[in-house]
Structure 1
Amino acid sequence: MLSRFAAAKEAEIAVLCARERAGTLPQAYRGARPVFSQALRRPGLVTIAEYKRASPSKGDIAPELTPEQVAAAYAGAGAGALSVLTEETYFRGSLGYLERMAFCGLPMLRKDFILHPLQVVQTAATPASALLLVVRMLEGADGVRRLIEAAHEKSLEAVVEVFDEQDLEIARKAGARIIQVNNRDLSTLRTSLAISGRLVKERDAAECWISASGITGTNHRKYVEALGFDAMLVGTVLMSGGDPAGNLVRLLQ
């Protein structure tokens, strides 16, 4: 799947390269950006609630729910931050969703497959506070570091996603400070919270840690919180059934 995801971004990157040559890259967003990592440092397990209309494993989830509806629902139900899927081919996302959801005031993570520095420039033109970098899709520590530094230059934070100890070592060599453990291996789409249980033993107190994928009920939430994670990223279970606010309230009970 990772190779398919990367291939799906080729056209976007080509357009950005053409715009760079033409001198028409988007200008940086001029509004305030809430600090993503600051939101994760609140007491307890912070919820990063995701706007997710579809996925390769589930197909359509809740395409009828607008970004505005979901942003308001999550903010009212206790989310600490938002994750906004902007990948179009497999997740039916849109970069424009970031602008449409900014009104709620929560820091937003652009969740996409960022492979090129010009995608960082593209992200900086939106109200996003952070972007996602997937270690396995980049060229080692140097590739991850290049994009982390590009993000910081644009006043964005980088959430660096890992699947195993090797990924974690690369993330740290690259200077990552926000670590996201994905419990779903994107190569196979299999999910196990044991991944979070194993990797969190390597946690440095100076880092922010997020557990993502596979958190579907109160028992899972309590497990992740007991492990010592700063935050959990939850999408499918919140979007399913058309009641994101109610689903989040029930998950937090």
Structure 2
Amino acid sequence: MKFAFSSNGFLRHSLKDTIRILADIGYQGIEIMADVPHAYPTQLSAAGRKQIRAALREHRMEISNVNAFMHHADGDTYHPSWIEKDAGERKRRVEYTLNCIDLARDLGARTISTEPGGPLDGITREEGFRFFREGLAAVEERARKKRVRILIEPEPGLLIENSRQFLELFRLLDPEVFGLNFDIGHFFCVGEDPQALIPKMKSMIGHFHLEDIAASRIHHHLMPGEGAIDLPAVLEAVRGIAFEGYVTVELYTYVDNAVEAARDAFRYLRKVIS
């Protein structure tokens, strides 16, 4: 099983330093945040992309995934979303995603993850579903051409937050181009059992996010082992489907002590899979 750590937990560090730190801890991969301050595509020059590739080679690190979910460079965590009421804002999400596909190709990443539509702000679920489908159609050909798979990440409170809603959408998509970013904590938050879902959705899964969640099921990422999810059982389910990609620890909630969090999470994971 291959473990990575998401750079969105290292906002106080440069991407180059983050790669070095995670490699020193023992991670095999890094999820690169396609946003400030790390790798916002339109602010990252050809020379900057070359430096990232060089740092990865130097430290023998792979990219587990390009996180194309957040948009803090000129928006926030969710906005502009795929389902804004304003067509111009929806277009900005499409353009950002196209740039992230190109970035992933440039850096040698096989997948990008994206938000599951976005918040239903003043629109119906039917409108949101239609807007999301239109947006995905607008990026599909670029992803196919670049051989980068777009992974949709269900999240509590957004258009698609559970497995049923994901499957409703996925049956309309090309599985060679689109897939699932399986966030273990997110499914737990909406009352589903990640361990049971993994074998059912194995053909769709391109990448995992891992964090723990409290028994309250409130969406707040906790250190592995400090919440209510049976993570050893979940990881055994990942092993059971012979998954060849990465399980990426996502602890953006620990930005003030990112190095310690990454180190402690790695120790926990090595202990439970030994």
Shorter-chain TM-score range? 0.5 to 0.7
2:267 is matched with 250
CA distance in 2: counterparts of 1:213 and 1:248, whole angstroms: 10
Q: 1:197 to 1:84 in 2, by over 3 A?
A: same
1:144 CA displacement: 3.0
How big is the shift at 1:192? 6.4
Does 1:118 find its partner at 2:95? yes
Segments of structure 1 that go 5 or more residues without pairing to the other structure are: 1-43, 54-61
Which residue of 211, 214, 238 maps to 1:214? 211
Per the alignment, in what secondary structure is the counterpart of residue 247 of structure 2?
strand
SS in 2 for 1:79: coil
Residue identity matched to 1:110: V
**TM-score computed with the length of structure 1 as normaliser:** 0.59
Structure 2 counterpart of 1:155, which letter?
A: R
1:203 to partner: Cα distance: 1.7
**Match status 1:234 vs 2:226:** no
Sequence identity, in percent? 9
Closer, same or farther in 2 for the Cα pair 1:227/1:194, shift >3 Å? farther
State the SS of the aligned residue for 1:64.
coil
Deviation at 1:168, TM superposition (A): 2.8
**SS, match of residue 151 in structure 2:** strand
Residue 239 of structure 1 and its aligned partner are, at CA, apart by 5.4
Q: Does the CA contact (< 8 Å) of 2:11 and 2:255 recur in 1?
A: no
Aligned to 1:168: 167
Specify whether residues 179 and 110 from structure 1 end up closer, same or farther in structure 2 by C-alpha distance, changes over 3 A only: same
Please give the alpha-carbon distance, in whole angstroms, between the structure 1 residues aligned to 2:137 and 2:198.
Answer: 22
Preserved CA contact (<8 Å) 1:141 1:171: no
* Structure 2 counterparts to residues 84-233 of structure 1, below 5 A: 84-88=32-36, 94-95=39-40, 96=44, 99=49, 101-102=52-53, 103-105=55-57, 106-113=62-69, 115=82, 116-123=93-100, 124-125=102-103, 126-127=106-107, 129=109, 130-137=111-118, 139-141=131-133, 143-162=135-154, 163-164=161-162, 165-176=164-175, 178-183=179-184, 191=189, 194-204=192-202, 206-215=203-212, 216-217=223-224, 221-228=231-238, 230=243, 231-233=246-248
Question: Using a 3 Å threshold, how does the CA distance of structure 1 residues 132 and 209 change in structure 2: closer, same or farther?
Answer: closer
Query: For 1:75-94, what per-residue CA distance to the aligned partner results, in whole angstroms no more than 9, with x for missing partners?
Result: 34343432122334xxx654
Over the aligned positions, Cα root-mean-square deviation in angstroms equals: 3.7
Q: 1:78 to 1:167 in 2, by over 3 A?
A: same
Name 2:75's counterpart in structure 1: none
- Secondary structure at the aligned position of 1:212 is classed as strand
How far apart, in 2, do the equivalents of 1:52 and 1:144 lie? Answer: 24
Any unmatched runs of 5+ in structure 2? 70-80, 83-92, 119-128, 155-160, 213-222
Instruction: Give the total of aligned pairs.
Output: 194
Match of 1:235, as an amino acid?
E
3-state DSSP class of the match of 1:249? helix
